[in-house]
């Protein structure tokens, strides 16, 4: 997917420091190395609702694909429903709420489908770009970072794409992903992914993620957990935190919040999934319904505009 040009924030607008000054090192973590396996509790919506209603300052953070929309074969088809848009807009209108979408999607997609919602914060490409709530410009977090590793990674992915029909490469500023969801031979694609993973581990300065039928290589300078920390620093302490995600990249968010007793970290997936989240729901539809329950004036047929 492509990404649009970015512009710097004005001096009068709250800013976030770029990430080029951070030290990098290689990590190559498989899912089993990132979390402790446990049976996750099904989300207690009654408890969440009580905590939400009693809080004076709330922070709500959501992944997009697989969390607010179902996973689909063609990523362009994962567009927000009208209900989701209404619920997000209503949540953002509440002055007690700070709402963020923290996604691997690029700026162009998030801006096109969600950028019109006032007071909605957006984080694209796992934190490579951020648009603070109430502002209109995107901050390029990697403007001075060394991204020379991308050419090596791209050559590896191109080799496996040529050997595995139906697979595709997705390039972004901070990451490159090899998708094999639509491979003609799924068993062979999985075998190739294991071989590819071993080659990728030789690249320095990157994080390698095993996702849902994909391999993603990204800069170590950005991850969703760091986005959560920056948002908390910017916004200050909240009485209530809700964070939901479905994939390996979202574990970084859960890790950043795992010691916070105010946080409801919710995995979208089965109870036996390896995760740092304390709660789970089974589908993105349940997450959207949960958002609707937080804004009863919308679910009761209000025609509130976006």
The catalytic site residues sit at 63
Q: What is the DSSP string of 114-141?
A: HTTSTTEEEEEGGGTEEE-TT--PPEET
Token pair for residue 18? 């770029």
Handedness of CA 287, 237, 276, 52 (dihedral sign): negative
205: phi > 0 → left, psi -120 to 50 → alpha, else beta; which? left
Contact 237/216 with Cβ under 8 angstroms?
A: no
**CB 187 within 8 Å of CB 224:** no
Residue 239 buriedness (CB in 10 A; 0-12 / 13-18 / 19+): middle
């Amino acid at each position: 997917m492509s990404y649009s040009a970015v512009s710097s924030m004005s001096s009068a607008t709250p800013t976030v420091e770029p990430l080029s000054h951070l030290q990098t090192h290689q990590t190559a973590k498989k899912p089993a190395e990132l979390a402790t396996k446990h049976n996750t509790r099904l989300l207690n919506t009654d408890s969440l609702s009580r905590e939400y209603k009693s809080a004076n300052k709330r922070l709500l953070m959501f992944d997009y694909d697989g969390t607010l929309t179902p996973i689909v074969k063609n990523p362009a088809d994962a567009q927000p429903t009208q209900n989701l848009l209404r619920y997000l807009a209503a949540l953002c209108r509440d002055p007690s709420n700070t709402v963020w979408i923290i996604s691997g999607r690029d700026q162009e997609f998030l801006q096109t489908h969600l950028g019109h919602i006032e007071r909605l914060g957006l984080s694209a490409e796992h934190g490579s770009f951020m648009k603070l709530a109430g502002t209109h410009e995107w901050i390029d977090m990697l403007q001075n970072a060394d991204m020379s590793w991308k050419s090596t990674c791209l050559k590896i992915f191109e080799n496996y794409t040529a050997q595995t029909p139906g697979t595709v490469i997705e390039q972004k500023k901070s990451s490159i992903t090899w998708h094999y969801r639509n491979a003609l031979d799924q068993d062979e694609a999985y075998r190739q992914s294991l071989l590819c993973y071993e080659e990728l581990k030789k690249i320095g300065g990157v994080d390698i993620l095993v996702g849902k039928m994909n391999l993603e290589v990204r800069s170590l300078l950005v991850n969703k957990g760091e986005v959560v920390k920056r948002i908390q620093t910017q916004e200050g302490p909240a009485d209530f935190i809700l964070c939901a995600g479905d994939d390996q990249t979202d574990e970084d968010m859960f890790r950043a919040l795992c010691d916070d007793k105010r946080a409801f970290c919710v995995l979208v997936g089965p109870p036996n999934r390896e995760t740092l989240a304390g709660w789970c729901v089974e589908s993105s539809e349940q997450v959207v319904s949960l958002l609707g329950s937080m804004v009863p004036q919308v679910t009761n047929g209000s025609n509130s505009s976006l």
